[in-house]
Amino acid sequence: MPRLKNQNKKISIKECTSCFKSNNIIFNFAYIVYDDDLDDNAKRTLIDRLREVSSVNYLELTRWPREKGFEEVKVNISKEIPRNFLNEIGAFDGKYSIMRLYKNNEPTPGRIIGKLINKIFYIFYIDVKGNLYNH
């Protein structure tokens, strides 16, 4: 069996200059919990909203009113944050990032609830009927 020689070479880590850096929001579905009321119409609406929000530059998105974009609020939600999110991502500050599923709360006050960190929106819940917290 050949022996490996100990070589004292310095390893230099270079910053990736060709790596993907988004100017838009990115959605992460790893921690999602579906509502029982997620029918085909709600799924279509969800996809349309995600497409709309992800097609806009992040800086422009931050200027949108909360009825159209995001709001950061501390609310009491009737479900716990997915444990694997806390284990993998880190501490939770108690504020949720919330996006309305339907812009004018018509036909329901549905919400997409998660946490926005570094332009990545980690989706926790899709609350089609708006039942997870008091609006």
pLDDT the model gives residue 60:
92
DSSP E strand boundaries for 29-110:
33-34, 70-73, 96-100
> Rounded to 10 degrees, what is the CA torsion of 70, 73, 75, 79?
50
Radius of gyration of the chain (CA): 20
Q: What is the pLDDT along the chain (135 residues), one digit of tens a residue?
A: 555 555 555 555 566 666 657 789 999 999 887 767 788 888 888 899 899 999 999 999 999 998 888 999 998 888 888 888 887 887 778 889 999 888 777 777 888 999 998 889 999 998 888 888 877
What whole-number distance in Å separates Cα of residue 113 and Cα of residue 117? 13
pLDDT the model gives residue 98:
92
Q: Would you call 77 helix, strand, or coil by DSSP?
A: coil
